[in-house]
Amino acid sequence: MPQTAPLALGVMTSLHGAPREMFAKVRELGFETCQLSSPPESYLVGPDAARLTAEFKAAYEESGVTITAVFVMWSGHIWNLFGGPRTIGLVPADKRGARVVRAIRISNWARQVGIDALTSHIGFIPEDPADAAYPPFIETMQALVDYFLDNGQTFAFETGQETAQTLVRTIQDIGRAPHVGINLDPANLLLYGKSVPLEVADLVAPYVFNTHCKDGKAPRPGQGLGEEYPLGEGDVDIRALIPALYERGFRGPLTIEREISGDQQVADIRRAKALLEEIRERLLAGG
């Protein structure tokens, strides 16, 4: 992952329209880093891919923004506890082949434009390592991570569909540390009802490369997914979590994600930025 200032503030963004406009919006919000969602398919394959990629690279180099990771996204996901196990990530064996190919294409594209970190939701990893689905999944991840390494890239699991304990065990079983780690989205730990962020800070901190600073609450009984909230208004307790990670050595980016759209999204991002600036300044000042 690129070198940034300690606890650099960033925002999750997507490439819709001209790359220069995307970077301008990031700078307008006051950020110097961002995470980028997967580029459109036209940037990866087809007659316009080389031209679009060259235009993106030029805009990126001129922007003054550092992309700290590209998020590898696949289609067909059902983002909840009910449909998720059979649809999300690389755990479902019937989805794995085509998705590995797409991940490789995104890795190659990221290398072309100068991005050295990838992240993604990988799915509902079996909690039982004796599950028959687990060994072939680990073999796939080892091969994929080796490909990323050949492209000079790290990989981070975004938290969500697995417990923190299962995720750390998986990283250890892949055996590619320190090139494999965690993109810590504490809200997702709650939204899927898998872990309480503060309770697992000590366990995950050594593996955290990046963050999605997002808030939420756990699902109620029978509810397929919890509810996202503006940062500081859910049950993540970001005011305690960031210092807990910092005390355990984390200095990576604080990347805001707010999964709504429109004016309210911008307003919530601005408030989240102000909150994180307050936390960051206190920590860097030694308070």
Compute CA 37 distance to the chain's CA centroid, rounded to the nearest angstrom: 9
Compute CA 179 distance to the chain's CA centroid, rounded to the nearest angstrom: 15
Compute CA 63 distance to the chain's CA centroid, rounded to the nearest angstrom: 22
Q: Which CATH superfamily is domain 9-284 in?
A: Divalent-metal-dependent TIM barrel enzymes (3.20.20.150)
Helix axes 19-28, 49-63, angle to 10 degrees: 30
Tokens representing residue 117 in the block: 């970190």
**DSSP string spanning 190-203?**
HHTTS--GGGGHHH
* Secondary structure of 24-47 as H, E, C letters: HHHHHCCCCEEEEECCCHHHCCCC
Q: Using CA atoms, how far apart are residues 6 and 284, in angstroms rounded to an integer?
A: 8
CB within 8 Å of 210: residues ≥ 6 apart: 1, 35, 68, 69, 117, 119, 156, 183, 184, 252, 253, 255
Q: Using CA atoms, how far apart are residues 129 and 149, in angstroms rounded to an integer?
A: 25
Q: Using CA atoms, how far apart are residues 41 and 270, in angstroms rounded to an integer?
A: 30
Q: Using CA atoms, how far apart are residues 284 and 287, in angstroms rounded to an integer?
A: 7
Give the N- to C-terminal CA distance of the chain in Å, as an integer.
27
- Is 0.75 surpassed by the pTM of this model? yes
- Going by their DSSP bridges, the two strands 117-120 and 33-37 should be labelled as unpaired
User: What pLDDT tens digit does each residue of the chain (287 aa) get?
Assistant: 667 899 999 999 999 999 999 999 999 999 999 999 999 999 999 999 999 999 999 999 999 999 999 999 999 999 999 999 999 999 999 999 999 999 999 999 999 999 999 999 999 999 999 999 999 999 999 999 999 999 999 999 999 999 999 999 999 999 999 999 999 999 999 999 999 999 999 999 999 999 999 999 999 999 999 999 999 999 999 999 999 999 999 999 999 999 999 999 999 999 999 999 999 999 999 86
